[in-house]
Amino acid sequence: RQSLTIGLIPADGIGREVIPAAREAILAVQSELPQVKFIDLLAGWETFTRTGTALPRETVQALKEDCDCALFGSVSSPSRKVAGYSSPIVALRKELDLYANIRPVSSVSADRTQPPAVDLIVVRENTECLYVKDEKLIHTENGKEARATRLITERASTRIGKIAFELAKARSRKLLTIIHKSNVLSVTDGLFRESVRAVPGLPGIDGRFDDVTIEEQLVDSAVYRLFREPQIFDVMVAPNLYGDIISDAAAALVGSLGVIPSINAGDNFVMGEPVHGSAPDIAGKGIANPVASIRSAALMLRHLGYVSAADKIDKAVDDTLAPAEILTADLGGKHSTTEVTDHIMGLIKKQYN
């Protein structure tokens, strides 16, 4: 690769305050990257209110034709139905076939000789389940009735299973937990579970995953155990909705949604994205935690093979979180987005001296 072209889609709310921090982190490690170029792209609720579309065609086209990867901030989706509006992040995941949402959740021990208390990865299927958004409202004699389609395919479950297996294999504990509810949803969750379980036996994969332990947990008890004994989990693989909920829940264990990164990955494209939303309660105040976005940039670079650059970003973040001196309000601190970002950038630059 001669150059690395990165689409930037801050979208709404605090996305606009934290994506610039992710951009700075990439610039701080650019000596280890091919020529970096950024392309600013529009999407989101504000774009919708101005232009009538939440995901302009030019954005999708630029991502497909000009970009090697992208960073997405967060979108403000109204919780009521608005004619013509549809969430651009859900659409982008489908449009670019970013079928795996990989969400590492780990704590940083104040005593750095101790292993982190929480160290897990949620691997969320990113294209189907209830997020196919096939919903219908009908009027019956007894009032309104709403129905939704929940799609689970063998193809999507197998490919997310493979990603999860590969991640588990690369970790020291090599434990994969399949999250499902097939005691009740035996057909849909049953297919998910069976498809993931079949991965080690797939043609061409035989033997490669021999040392990975596979366990399973019903989703409700998985959340309970996650809160009581998070150390029992290593890599968790889940259908779309369970994965969404579990990763937000896991965020509570490490202090804040503001520190949890993710990537949306497909076979040909990767998009970094903080797990949090647009946080309207704090948007515009300059106090959003930039760590989730900065870590998302590192996760994206790592996925693209720029491991040493990603390590430097992650180390600077850990060396900021562990002493707990320069923190935003969500982590009990009183520093601004800019102050925390500047501090992390300083710690990245130090590693090149």
Report the catalytic residues: 131, 181, 220, 244, 248
**Residue with the shortest CB distance to ligand NAD:** 277
244 binds, among K ion, ligand NAD, Mn ion, none (CB under 5 to 8 A by kind): Mn ion
286 binds, among ligand NAD, K ion, Mn ion, none (CB under 5 to 8 A by kind): none
Q: Pattern 3-22, binding to ligand NAD, x per CB under 6 A?
A: -----------x---x----
Residues numbered 247-276 forming contacts with ligand NAD, rule: CB under 6 A: 257-258, 276
Query: Which of 71, 251 has the CB closer to Mn ion?
Result: 251
Strand partners, 129: 151
- DSSP annotation of 199 reads G
The number of CA neighbours under 13 Å toward the Cβ of 102 is 28
Q: Please pick, from the candidates 67, 279, 297, 304, the single residue that binds ligand NAD as defined by CB under 6 A.
A: 279
Under the criterion CB under 6 A, does residue 282 sit at the interface with ligand NAD? Answer: yes
Query: Which of 287, 309 has the CB closer to ligand NAD?
Result: 287
Q: Please pick, from the candidates 125, 244, 273, 314, the single residue that binds Mn ion as defined by CB under 5 A.
A: 244
> Residue 307 corresponds to which tokens in the numbers above?
């491991």
Q: How far is the CB of 109 from Mn ion (least distance, A)?
A: 26
Rounded to a whole number of angstroms, the CA Rg of the chain reads 20
Closest CA to 310 of 111, 104, 99, 101: 104
> Residue 173 corresponds to which tokens in the numbers above?
């504990």
User: Is the four-CA dihedral 310, 313, 315, 318 of positive or negative sign?
Assistant: negative
Which residue matches tokens 């019956």?
140
Under the criterion CB under 5 A, does residue 74 sit at the interface with K ion? Answer: yes
Closest CA to 69 of 289, 349, 310: 310
- Distance, CA of 352 to CA of 350 (rounded, Å): 5
Q: Which residues lie near Mn ion (CB under 5 A)?
A: 244
Q: Which residues lie near K ion (CB under 5 A)?
A: 74, 273
